[in-house]
């Protein structure tokens, strides 16, 4: 039976060892763009791994990956600089939590002084780290490293005719939910703000980008007659079998991808998350990889998994089939009322920080429960055609993540998410007002 359903069975240790010994490693766009999201230490380790594998002639990228990396890198750099600025703003807000010493008698003057010193050190490091982020094309050491490592190790560009065939095939595949690429097609169909990636033709190629990468990988495996491992830092359901959709835990590649590769090339194929790949490189190829880097890569992957969750909720939504106005208004008002209660509870938590562990756990549970509620309410609105409610889902997940932090960072992160929630609610209000001109709230 395993012969007929090989893609559903996890490989044995012997099969894994043979695959790693014989294969070449292909990398998708996310694994390269993530270099701009990593700390300098993790950047250095990841580039070192790529260089060493490159020297062994075991790395390769599809032409589509090189194109996407080149087009999108400046957007990722700009986004990271914004995140550092936001982090600095959060750090600078931290002293305000303790500024009223009368309400925090359990913190003595010496402890407060230590806290202020620590905050100052953290702020300095955030500023230093922000300054290390490249922003000039002339000073982009990551770009230079990638171009050097993959020089002569990149696939050929498809012709216009070949791309047109893939677009036509992709239309049929996506309609029938054939992997890969269908999961986030609605998001990719939107007009890009990047001037290098605009227009009807660019939109079509972006929509079928994952399928183009897959086709180019199949061609390379067929040419080399060697098995391949594709490395990614994304956890999308059209690439992975996921056994927990909320936490997006990958089991292995989609069985139909395994079967398609086997049918067209007679070679083995596997898919690795970047964290698992770095761990295996350390074990199987005797490359030095620190646990700190693996932990950081995992955090970046988990952050992107959270973002992609609401995209897939939107893709599964029957867009244009709005529910009755009273129902939409009911859920809108429910979100608004819950935000007000949440803001009040959060203010109480800020003014009366918990002293005992039991109280801290109760507050964590309270905040986590609010996050779950906002996620569910946001999903309900999205399912009724309110596309903008996806931001409520995102904010709800931010609150759930904040509940895992230690106090008082938990309160600060949650306050930031609350601000985002209020902005998201205003967007939803504008959406409903436009859709139902006679409606007022």
State in Å, rounded, how far the first CA of the chain is from the last one. 60
Whether residues 328 and 273 share a domain: the answer is: no
Does 124 reside within a domain?
no
Whether residues 287 and 390 share a domain: the answer is: no
100 vs 351: CA distance, rounded Å: 9
Whether residues 363 and 240 share a domain: the answer is: no
Pair 390, 310: CB distance under 8 Å: yes
Whether residues 60 and 187 share a domain: the answer is: yes
Q: pTM of the prediction?
A: 0.64
Whether residues 220 and 276 share a domain: the answer is: yes
Does 329 reside within a domain?
yes
Residue of 67, 52, 61 lying closest to 150 (CA atoms): 61
* Side-chain-facing half-sphere of 437: CA atoms under 13 Å: 0
Per residue of the chain (441 residues), what is the pLDDT tens digit? 666 666 676 778 899 999 999 999 999 999 999 998 888 889 999 999 999 999 999 999 999 999 999 999 988 888 877 776 766 666 666 666 555 544 445 556 666 677 677 777 777 776 666 666 655 556 788 999 999 999 999 999 999 999 999 999 999 998 888 889 888 766 665 555 555 555 677 777 888 999 999 999 999 999 999 999 999 998 888 898 877 654 457 778 889 999 999 999 999 999 999 999 999 998 888 888 888 888 888 878 776 654 444 344 334 433 334 433 556 667 777 888 888 888 888 777 767 665 556 666 777 888 888 888 888 888 877 776 777 788 888 888 888 888 877 766 676 778 778 888 888 888 777 777 776 665 555
Whether residues 340 and 394 share a domain: the answer is: yes
Pair 25, 16: CB distance under 8 Å: no
Does 123 reside within a domain?
no
Per-residue pLDDT, 220: 97
Whether residues 212 and 348 share a domain: the answer is: no
Per-residue pLDDT, 299: 79
Residue of 31, 11, 1, 4 lying closest to 251 (CA atoms): 11
Structure tokens given for 53: 């594998």
195 vs 176: CA distance, rounded Å: 32
Pair 268, 262: CB distance under 8 Å: yes
Question: How many domains does one find in the chain?
Answer: 2
Pair 260, 218: CB distance under 8 Å: yes
Does 254 reside within a domain?
yes
Per-residue pLDDT, 380: 78
Whether residues 259 and 165 share a domain: the answer is: yes
Does 115 reside within a domain?
no
Per-residue pLDDT, 343: 84
Does 373 reside within a domain?
yes
Last residue of a domain, one of 293, 325, 354: 293
CATH number at residue 326: 1.20.120
Last residue of a domain, one of 259, 293, 327: 293
Does 230 reside within a domain?
yes
Domain that holds residue 215: 6-75+142-293
Last residue of a domain, one of 260, 293, 326: 293
- Specify the DSSP element, H or E, that contains 429: helix 409-435
Whether residues 188 and 248 share a domain: the answer is: yes
Whether residues 406 and 287 share a domain: the answer is: no
Query: Judging by beta carbons within 10 Å of its beta carbon (0-12, 13-18, 19+), is residue 224 exposed, middle or buried?
Result: middle
Whether residues 172 and 47 share a domain: the answer is: yes
Does 390 reside within a domain?
yes
Whether residues 196 and 243 share a domain: the answer is: yes
């Amino acid at each position: 039976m395993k012969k007929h359903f090989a893609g559903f069975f996890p490989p044995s240790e012997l099969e894994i060892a043979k695959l790693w010994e014989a294969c070449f490693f292909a990398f998708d766009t996310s694994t390269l763009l993530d270099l701009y999201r990593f700390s300098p230490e993790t950047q250095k380790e990841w580039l070192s791994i790529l260089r060493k594998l490159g020297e062994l002639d075991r790395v390769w990228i599809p032409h589509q990956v090189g194109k996407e990396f080149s087009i999108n890198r400046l957007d990722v750099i700009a986004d990271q600089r914004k995140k550092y600025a936001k982090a600095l703003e959060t750090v600078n807000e931290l002293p305000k939590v303790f500024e009223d010493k009368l309400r925090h008698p359990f913190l003595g003057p010496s402890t407060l002084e230590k806290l202020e010193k620590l905050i100052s050190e953290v702020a300095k490091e955030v500023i230093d780290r922000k300054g290390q982020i490249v922003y000039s094309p002339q000073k982009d050491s990551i770009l230079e490293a990638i171009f050097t490592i993959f020089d002569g190790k990149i696939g050929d560009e498809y012709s216009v005719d070949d791309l047109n065939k893939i677009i036509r095939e992709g239309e049929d595949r996506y309609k029938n939910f054939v992997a890969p690429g269908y999961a986030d097609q609605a998001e990719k169909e939107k007009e890009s703000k990047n001037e290098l990636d605009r227009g009807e033709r660019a939109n079509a190629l972006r929509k079928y980008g994952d399928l183009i990468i897959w086709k180019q990988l199949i061609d390379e495996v067929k040419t080399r007659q060697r098995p391949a491992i594709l490395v990614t830092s994304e956890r999308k359901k059209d690439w992975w079998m996921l056994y927990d959709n909320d936490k997006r835990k990958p089991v292995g590649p989609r069985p139909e991808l395994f079967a398609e590769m086997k049918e067209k090339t007679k070679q083995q194929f596997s898919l690795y998350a970047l964290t698992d790949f770095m761990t295996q490189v350390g074990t199987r190829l005797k490359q030095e990889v620190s646990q700190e880097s693996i932990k950081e890569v995992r955090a970046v992957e988990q952050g992107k998994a959270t973002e992609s969750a609401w995209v897939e909720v939107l893709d599964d939504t029957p867009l244009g089939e709005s529910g009755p106005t009273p129902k939409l208004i009911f859920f809108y008002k429910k979100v608004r009322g819950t935000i007000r209660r949440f803001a009040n509870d959060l203010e109480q938590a800020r003014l009366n920080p918990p002293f005992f562990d039991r109280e801290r756990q109760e507050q964590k549970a309270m905040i986590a429960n609010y996050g779950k509620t906002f996620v569910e309410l946001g999903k309900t609105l999205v399912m009724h055609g309110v596309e903008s409610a996806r931001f409520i889902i995102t904010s709800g997940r931010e609150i759930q993540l904040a509940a895992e932090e230690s106090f008082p960072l938990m309160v600060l992160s949650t306050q930031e998410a609350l601000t985002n929630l209020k902005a998201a609610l205003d967007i939803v209000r504008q959406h409903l007002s436009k859709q139902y001109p006679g409606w007022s709230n």
